[in-house]
Amino acid sequence: MNDSINSSSITPISKGAIAGIVIRTACFLLGIGGNITVILVLVRNFKKENFTLKLMLNLAASDIICLSMLPFWMWNLLFGWTVDIYLCRLLSFVTYTAIHASVFVVTLMSVQRYVVVLYRPQWSRLGRRGEFGVLVLTWVLAGMVSIAPTATYNIITVDGSVKKCEQVFRSEEQKVGVVLFETMAVFVIPFSTLLVSYLCLHKKVSAKALMSHQRLATLVTCIVVTFFIFWIPYHIVNVMIMTAPSKPVQTMLRVAYRLPRQVTQGIVYLNSCVNPLLYAFNYRSLRAAKPVSEVNTNQTSNDIS
């Protein structure tokens, strides 16, 4: 996820690129250390029977992978792309996969909470192997969803001589198809799933049950809210790109929407940077998390482990 203008030595760059670099630098410096700390805390307090902690561990891992790609994209913003197309697409694939995995893990947190509270016996049948399979499937799905956008990345020449690793659509149909697919698969469907899961949970479970283990429940809710806040600007720009008349498509992408895309892409990275702060404020919840006990829809504790 990248864009911009430059030369082999830094040349004047757009305000969008400057904003994108500032956001990316802050995310890298704060996010990597924060997520490593989160992993250490999770491992220290790890309980094999607590699936929520496993999800949080996967979320932190996906954030670290995503943020570790930032130096490459900042180099691309400042100096252009100095290596071959294979590394361009490989790093794009890894970045997209990590970001998509983060989105799907957050979605899974909501679904798992709903199922555990209302259908505990069915969830118990999964066992540890089944839960491991769910996590593997989540990462595989993230990789599969990343193939389409990754295939649109190429090395192009901008400003006459600077080579860039950028997303370039070859046709109007490809632009609409890829952008629509990404918006649906990574935002509309996940967020709708989150919303439906929580609405159904609050509708069917007693207030007393919902208030049990409030801090851990609040943590999950905060992660969901921040997911929406940091992703909505990016997808608004995506919709603008998809609906805008674009002849030629490449010109539209690299000029008209360069500034907002650079900024909103940087905002997406903020999501990976903010998650550790949520964990820090809910540290006691992680330590106090217990296995889920028997739950019924009228009255019972709803540990979302």
- pLDDT(192) > 70: yes
The domains found in the chain, sorted by start residue, are 15-286 (1.20.1070.10)
Q: At what angle do helices 51-68 and 258-281 cross, to 10 degrees?
A: 140
Q: Identify the pLDDT of residue 208.
A: 52
Q: Which residues contact 131 (CB under 8 A, 6 or more apart)?
A: 51, 54
Q: Identify the pLDDT of residue 135.
A: 94
CB atoms within 10 A of CB 293: 12
Output the six-digit token pair for 80. 């252009």
Q: Identify the pLDDT of residue 302.
A: 39
249, 170 Cβ separation under 8 angstroms? yes
Q: Identify the pLDDT of residue 148.
A: 93
Q: Identify the pLDDT of residue 185.
A: 93
- pLDDT(47) > 60: yes
Q: At what angle do helices 85-118 and 258-281 cross, to 10 degrees?
A: 40
Could you tell me the pTM of the whole model? 0.81
Q: Identify the pLDDT of residue 172.
A: 81
Question: What percent of the chain is predicted at pLDDT more than 90?
Answer: 21
How many Cα atoms sit within 13 Å of 4 on the Cβ side? 29
Find where tokens 């400042």 sit. 78
261, 233 Cβ separation under 8 angstroms? no
pLDDT tens across 170-187, in order? 888 888 899 899 999 999
Q: At 195, is the pLDDT very low, low, confident or very high (cuts 50, 70, 90)?
A: confident
Q: Identify the pLDDT of residue 297.
A: 41
Which comes out higher in pLDDT, residue 32 or 204?
32
Q: Is the peptide bond before 248 cis (omega within 30 degrees of 0)?
A: yes
pLDDT tens across 61-118, in order? 999 999 999 999 888 888 888 888 999 999 999 999 999 999 999 899 888 888 887 7
- pLDDT(191) > 80: yes
**3-state DSSP helix/strand/coil % of the chain, to nearest 5:** 75, 5, 20
The whole-number average pLDDT for the span 40-63 is: 84
Q: Which residues contact 300 (CB under 8 A, 6 or more apart)?
A: 209, 212, 293, 294
| Single-letter amino acid, residue 299 | Q
pLDDT tens across 244-295, in order? 765 555 444 444 456 677 778 878 888 888 877 776 566 555 455 444 444 4
Q: Identify the pLDDT of residue 293.
A: 43
Q: Choose the weakest-confidence range: 34-38, 46-50, 196-200.
A: 46-50
* Displacement of CA 17 from its chain's centroid (Å): 21
- pLDDT(7) > 60: no
Q: Identify the pLDDT of residue 62.
A: 93
Output the six-digit token pair for 281. 């404020």
